[in-house]
Amino acid sequence: MHFTRKVFWFVAGLTSLIIGLIGVILPLLPTTPFLLLASACFMKASPRVNHWLITHPSLGPPIVEWQEKKTIKKSIKKKAFFLIILSFVISIALAPFLWVKIGLFCFAIVLLVCFSRIPTSE
């Protein structure tokens, strides 16, 4: 792969990893999707860094579960549902225009329906 592409994928992976780690601390920022994105980017940029990520005792298990089974743990899914709803309620409450509120509500419904279709594991 061309060096510039590797740098791009590495920077994208690192950015996603940092956002995911911030999501561990900030409850409204989702962690798992950013970790999955980081892993996908690192697969293209640095298999060594991707290996570190998927073998990390705290960060790796949700990534490996998704890659192998295409499932999300029930506990993670419940937390994600709660945080999605909470973040959209706050966003809708703070939105200045009715059309923005309606758009956010519709987007939340679509997101929740799509997210609910992802299989869960115990």
pTM over 0.85: no
Read off the pLDDT of residues 3-30 as tens digits, 9 standing for 90 and up.
Answer: 888 999 999 999 999 998 888 787 667 7
pLDDT of 1:
56
Query: From CA 100, how far away is CA 36, in angstroms rounded?
Result: 29
pLDDT of residue 12: 94
